[in-house]
Amino acid sequence: MDSILVRGNGPLKGQIPIAGAKNACLTLMPATLLTEEPLTLTNAPRLSDIRTMTQLLGSLGAEVASLQGGQVLAMSSHDISSRHADYEIVRKMRASILVLGPLLARFGEAEVSLPGGCAIGARPVDLHLRALEALGAELDLRDGYVHAKAPKGLVGAVVDFPIVSVGATENALMAATLAKGTTVLNNAAREPEIVDLARCLRRMGAQIEGEGTSTITIQGVDRLGGATHAVVTDRIELGTYMLAPAICGGEVELLGGRIDLLAAFCEKLDAAGVSVEETANGLKVSRRNGRVRAVDVVTEPFPGFPTDLQAQMMALLCTAEGTSVLEERIFENRFMHAPELLRMGARIEVHGGHATVHGVEKLRGAPVMATDLRASVSLILAALAAEGETIVSRVYHLDRGYERVEEKLSACGALIERIS
Ligand code: EPZ
């Protein structure tokens, strides 16, 4: 099991290229199941989660060719031989549930393992199932699998989501493209990854309006064609690396960065004393004057502050001047990075969904353990600014969502290396 060794080393300077979005790619890939024609994704990120989705699609009979070092995924679902998504693959990655809607829409049947929980929460899929039932699916939950049927095909309907769910919106959106008639998704998720999926589906011939707002309307069509689509920039990778110069000092340019993907996050950085400047190539980030100031954070569905940047922001606020309160409203257990940050000298009190952070001048390096994807990178950010040496273990979590993190950071002067 690999670990990452980091030595606190002062200001960073240089450029970091931002890859395509993991959470867009993980919903764009299952869209290949909706058509027998080729679907090609460019600007795909090179991550273990993408390899897991490739394996899952392959197990269904789809062909996924990973070209140009993994940046291009040439997919074809002409010969889907199976509708069974096995627990062995699904348990490794919850996004596997996103094959359910497309399989149902195109073939009228699917057998998908329930994903089970994960470190940050129970992660139920009841909203996915409710939406597909509204579209006419007959669902039977037994032996850990969803057995879904729609022998006469799906039928358009009004779907009212009681809470905003990114994945349930994606499953319903993909299924509705081939349903008979009109579907309206109310209280739909507005994330940029949803907008990206809608744009790709439209290129494939889908009739969709309203993506990016809370109401998405889909006119079902008989079939979808192929397309080529560039995966949108990863706003979570972007936000993560914007925090590197914020916590260490110096100046870093994030290539491909766009402020519109992270407006709420950039507002918080501004309030904390971090300058974000748009350049011809992306975003340039630096601290306005030395130590950042404490700010309060509440995580919300887009366009609010992203839950996927909460752990990373906490690392910054551990070194801020003053006391910050972070409220995690999306997941029930997403402060597991806090005990690890405490080992580095941070002062944090967690009560339920609130974490109160009293900033300290300097963190101190220590051996720490990654518990989930975003927590692992939060520890690396803290280690960059800490005195001394930090070893982050269980970095397989990290590789799920960040390609070549040690290369990208060491190119800006960070002392960071992977040790097997
Ligand atoms: C997506 O997960 C992302 N994953 C998550 O990123 C992200 O944190 C999350 O959206 C919120 O933005 C991918 O896109 C692959 P939700 P998803 O459905 O779709 C509850 C990362 O680090 N809920 O919007 O699973 C759920 O428990 C990952 O890249 C139900 O109750 O998130 C949560 O409390 C982590 N029933 C809330 O809704 C359901 O059927 C939001 O979940 C579905 C969700």
Query: Tens digit of pLDDT for each residue in 264-293?
Result: 999 999 999 999 999 999 999 999 988 999
Specify the residue with its C-alpha closest to ligand 1, atom 39.
Answer: 125
Q: What is the pLDDT of residue 121?
A: 84
> Taking the alpha carbons of 16, 22, 24, 28 in that order, is the dihedral positive or negative?
positive
With the most atoms of ligand 1 within 8 angstroms of its CB, the residue from 22, 23, 333 to mutate is 23
In sequence order, which ranges of 81-146 are alpha helices (DSSP H)? 87-90, 100-107, 126-134
Nearest CA among 333, 319, 416 for reference residue 364? 319
Nearest CA among 300, 333, 287, 294 for reference residue 314? 294
Confidence band, pLDDT 50/70/90 cuts, at residue 165: very high
Alpha-carbon distance of 42 to 21, in angstroms, equals 11
Nearest atom (ligand 1) to Cα of 163? 38
**Structure confidence by residue, pLDDT tens digits, 116-164:** 777 888 889 999 999 999 999 999 999 999 999 999 999 999 999 999 9
**Residues 397, 110, 123: CA angle, nearest 5 degrees:** 35
Give catalytic status of residue 248 as yes or no: no
pTM of the model: 0.97
Beta bridge partners of 230: 42
Which tokens hold the place of 205?
Answer: 């011939």
Q: How far is the CA of 100 from the centre of ligand 1 (A)?
A: 16
Task: Describe the strand order of the beta sheet including 274-278 as a list of residue ranges.
Answer: 12-17, 250-255, 282-287, 274-278
Q: E-strand spans in 115-246?
A: 138-142, 145-149, 158-160, 182-186, 207-209, 215-219, 227-230
Is 150 within 8 Å of 133 (Cβ atoms)?
A: no
Confidence band, pLDDT 50/70/90 cuts, at residue 213: very high
Contacts of 368 (CB under 8 A, 6+ apart): 340, 341, 343, 344, 379, 383, 390, 391, 392, 393
**Structure confidence by residue, pLDDT tens digits, 360-387:** 999 999 999 999 999 999 999 999 999 9
Ligand 1 binding site (Cβ under 6 Å of any ligand atom):
23, 26, 95, 121, 123-128, 163, 165-168, 307-308, 330-331, 373-374, 401
Is 108 within 8 Å of 151 (Cβ atoms)?
A: yes
Q: How far is the CA of 76 from the centre of ligand 1 (A)?
A: 27
Q: E-strand spans in 68-177?
A: 72-76, 84-85, 109-113, 138-142, 145-149, 158-160
Alpha-carbon distance of 256 to 397, in angstroms, equals 24
Nearest atom (ligand 1) to Cα of 401? 29
Q: What is the pLDDT of residue 53?
A: 97
Catalytic residue among 118, 248, 266, 318: 118
Q: What is the pLDDT of residue 111?
A: 97
Nearest atom (ligand 1) to Cα of 121? 27
